[in-house]
Amino acid sequence: MIVKNPRDFFTLCVNLLSSIVSDEDNKLTYKEKMFLIECCMYNYEGNDLSKSSSLSDHMKHIGFFTRKSDTSIYKYKLSLKKWAITGRKEFTLPGVLAKREGDKLGLNINISLDEVSDR
């Protein structure tokens, strides 16, 4: 599948990866997905996710949140559900979600069944 822009790429990746998460406790809500996608875009555009104040300002500026403190709450939710590594001055996205402008955007998924034959 080919997408037309980075936002569509990250949206497709987050939705696809979220749909195959087997542990219900790690599934993202709609708002958590949208937050994660916005964080992917923020990072992709060259911004530093570990600077919480700047990220909070961005989220408030685009109207995603009305309070700056909501950013910290959603960072924590992503960490709790194992979608990112976050802390006071840390916010690391996993693998394909951590791409930056200039990186090749692509996601390969390989699903296989490992059958053990008793013959």
56-111 confidence digits (pLDDT tens): 999 999 999 999 999 999 999 999 999 999 988 899 999 999 999 999 999 998 88
Distance CA 115, CA 99 (A): 35
Residue 90: φ, ψ to 5°: -140, 140
Q: What is the pLDDT of residue 106?
A: 94
8 A C-beta contact, residue 85 and residue 79: yes
- Domain limits for position 68: 6-93
Q: Name the maximum alpha-carbon separation found in the chain.
A: 64
Domain membership of residue 114 (yes or no) is: no
Q: What is the model's pLDDT at position 61?
A: 95
The structural domain count of the chain equals: 1
Task: Check pLDDT > 60 for residue 119.
Answer: no
Examine residue 99 and state whether it is found in any structural domain, yes or no.
Answer: no
Instruction: Let me know if residue 119 belongs to a domain.
Output: no
Identify whether 113 is part of a domain: no
| 3-class secondary-structure state, position 7 | helix
Non-local (6+) Cβ contacts of 119 within 8 A are none
Residues 23-36: pLDDT tens digits? 889 999 999 999 99
